[in-house]
Amino acid sequence: MSRPWTEAEIQLLGTQPDFDIGRLIGRPGKAVWAKRQSLGIGAPATMLRRWTAEEDRVVLSKPVSESAKLLNRTETAIGLRRNKLLKRLTPGSLIQPPSPDSVQLPIQVPRYDSPEQEEKVQFVGGPYTTPTVPVGGWLQCEVRGLLQVGGYSNALIPWPTAARNRKQLIVCGDLLKALKTESRLAVAFHFGISTQMVSGFRRALGIERLTAGSTRLFWRNVRLAGSDEARAKMSRQREGREDLMTPEDRARLREIQSRPKSEAWKERAAERWQRRYLLSGKPDPWTDEDLKLIGTLPDREVAKLLNRSLHAVKAKKFQLRKENPG
């Protein structure tokens, strides 16, 4: 049986935490708590600041760093409180929508390093705007389903991220339109993600590799490769080089290229050409005047005169040699 309480022990109740008093007087902490409750003595004041409803609204509507400065708390405490509040929210919870300025973080991503980079990553569509959904709200991600907004990315176009993974963008709205329209470089640069992630999103959504932006970037590279500076550079690289292919190897290569193709190969080739025609249009048919130019001038000059690619001219030359071996 426990010993009776003395007046001195009773006077200590409520002055310190129950377990600290128990160590002082040699009693279990639960016994001290039970005695204090039976006498109606209140617990000692806690050293921790209790969270108020106003502080909770700031935590859910402001970035972590800004909330820490406004509430005079550590960023660790803000993050723990935000995670606790997010667990209480449900898709049906009513949340006051914030203003666009309150959800966008200060832009710290550097602008274009050069005019060349600006030309590479420019949009062909748009403009693309950030959805004004507060932290703790819900968005339908086209890749992962219904996700809760945990914050916004720090990119040229701030975008909502998932609550459980701050690096996971929620694929919806204008980001989905950008994935279907723009090039990989443009999406990665403006939305602050890697080109590998852009490709992963496109594979998951079944988006074709050659979008309008990718096609513009492709033909930009083709025009640059056909410029006088690029051609002069390629000529300097080829000067003085010997042909390493022997006549026997060249004849063997011609024989391999002349082998009949299977029906499956022809079907795959037809599908590739149909997809290409949808993006760039079907080229003009070859006329007799066009065919007469082949072989009279270098292939590159013929391609420039006929406004065709060098690959198309070489392929047509190979076809003509195959049809007329003599």
The answer on pLDDT for 88 being more than 80 is no
Please state the pTM of the whole predicted model: 0.49
**pLDDT number for residue 46:** 67
Q: How confident is the model at residue 202 (pLDDT cuts 50, 70, 90)?
A: very high
Give the start-to-end residue ranges of the domains of the chain: 7-39, 115-215, 283-326
Q: Using an 8 Å Cβ cutoff, are 67 and 57 in contact?
A: no
33/39 Cα distance (integer angstroms): 10
**pLDDT number for residue 97:** 43
**pLDDT number for residue 326:** 58
- Per residue in 283-305, pLDDT (tens digit) is 788 888 888 888 888 888 888 88
| Lowest model confidence (mean pLDDT) among 3-7, 104-108, 184-188 | 104-108
Q: How far is CA 16 from the centre of its chain?
A: 53
**pLDDT number for residue 110:** 54
**pLDDT number for residue 45:** 67
Strand partners, 149: 162
- Per residue in 183-193, pLDDT (tens digit) is 999 999 988 88
Q: How confident is the model at residue 163 (pLDDT cuts 50, 70, 90)?
A: confident
DSSP three-state, residue 251? helix
| Overall average pLDDT of the 9-22 stretch | 87
| Overall average pLDDT of the 139-158 stretch | 84
- Per residue in 17-47, pLDDT (tens digit) is 888 888 888 888 898 989 889 988 888 766 6
**pLDDT number for residue 103:** 46
**pLDDT number for residue 94:** 41
Considering the chain, what is the average pLDDT of its residues?
82
Transcribe 34-93 into DSSP letters: HHHHHHTPPPPPPSSPPPPHHHHHHHHHS-HHHHHHHHT--HHHHHHHHHHHHHH--TT-
The answer on pLDDT for 104 being more than 50 is no
**pLDDT number for residue 267:** 92
The answer on pLDDT for 123 being more than 80 is yes
17/32 Cα distance (integer angstroms): 9
Angle at 63 between CA 136 and CA 158, to 5 degrees: 85
DSSP three-state, residue 163? coil
**pLDDT number for residue 255:** 87
Q: Which residue has the higher pLDDT, 235 or 78?
A: 78
Q: How confident is the model at residue 268 (pLDDT cuts 50, 70, 90)?
A: very high
Instruction: Kindly tell me the sign of the dihedral angle through the C-alpha atoms of 204, 207, 213, 219.
Output: positive
| Overall average pLDDT of the 254-265 stretch | 87
